[in-house]
Amino acid sequence: MLNNQDFPCHAPILVDKNINFLFGSGASASYIPTLRIDDNNTYETLLTDKNFSHLENYIYWNYFKDVISPTYCFTPENGEQQERYSKTLGYYKNFISELVGLLNRRSANHIRRANIFTTNYDLFVERSADELLSSLKFHLNDGSNGLINKQLDISNFHISTWHQGTHDSYRYEIPMINLIKMHGSVSWSKKNESTINIDYLKKDNVLRLPEIDINGRSLTDLIDNNELGIEPEFGFAFNEEENSRLANFRENYNKLAIVSPTKEKFKETVFQQHYYQSLRLLSYELEKPQSVLICFGFSFQDEHIREIIKRSLSNPTLKVFIFCYKKQAKREIETVLNDPRVTFIYPKDIEDCISFKKFTAKIFNIDNSGDLEWTNL
């Protein structure tokens, strides 16, 4: 049995540090599918394979149907999906509640602020915070300026807020959680080449999928046909009307302010500007004294984010903790991030995993079991 002094990343250690979290798709994977299609293929591999270029709109159609649609985080009608959604939302709410509690324990000379950097498009953090505001006093800062017309402004993440008594008899800093969405969000839209609008859409206003007759066929069928040398058109021929629907869908899809899973992720000016501003913000935060970066559900395949973290390790007071979903994930991350100053936290049992619930419990001292291991390379 391991006690709290043994565990390298938990609340008493973090309370007066500059706290930064980095979340990847694994954080929401209990409800939202990842980019992986099968053991050998992802949406990114298909969209960068010239053999499938003539079916690009259909691949995007599947990507939106399977991966993007759930990220709006509307309560599903299907019972099984409803249960998974509620559980995932509960994990986020629990995490935010514990984080606010931790920030409230800070001494008066420490800013009550934490940063969540994420490559996810989904609205779980926003919807969780909205449900918690009736019982917790804190601010979730999504980087927006404005009231009716909200626009993204990276400088907004340097704001603190204070509550003062009616007669200014006391002054209390309200905990602030900055949410920096590095790959965009389904709540964003492109106004022009330099401006991103933020709009939390109602259910009736989201992008709709056109009906396409696929006769029970799937992307795995398309992949299998290609690997067998079968002309994809024979299994995936669309009529003129369907091709028109797919083209119209793609035109509307391109208005979303999200980074698509292709090699040309940041070819648009508006994304280049936001992405590199968010990278600078990450670098700035990790260069501060007594900073901590806690990574969860992140694969480290984004080379720009990875390089920022590598360079930031020259800060002698920076601590980096990587929570690995499984032991195998630890080995995969080690191939791209091999540094003795990084602490890997992973399950003891090769069949076990670190869920979001387990991650939160370990950090905030809810779980004292010794079912995890940690190591520096």
pLDDT tens digits, one per residue of 35-71: 888 878 888 888 888 888 888 898 999 999 999 999 9
| Closest by Cα among 144, 210, 214, 212 to 179 | 144
In this predicted model, what pLDDT tens digit does every residue of 229-244 receive, in sequence order? 445 444 566 788 888 9
> Would 102 be classed as within a structural domain?
yes
From the centroid of its chain, how far is CA 54? 30
Looking at per-residue confidence, does 362 or 224 come out higher? 362
Domain-located, residue 22: yes
Whether the predicted pLDDT of 99 surpasses 60: yes
**Is the pLDDT score of 195 beyond 70?**
yes
Count of domains forming the chain: 1
Is residue 205 pLDDT above 90, yes or no?
no
Residue 134 lies in a domain: yes
Q: Is residue 67 part of a domain?
A: no
Q: Is residue 124 part of a domain?
A: yes
Q: Is residue 365 part of a domain?
A: yes
Q: What's 207's domain CATH number?
A: 3.40.50.1220
| C-alpha distances in Å from residue 233, one per residue of 103, 156, 270, 363 | 57, 50, 36, 51
pLDDT (tens digit per residue) in 341-364 = 999 999 999 889 999 999 999 999
Residues spanned by the domain of 336: 11-30+87-216+263-376
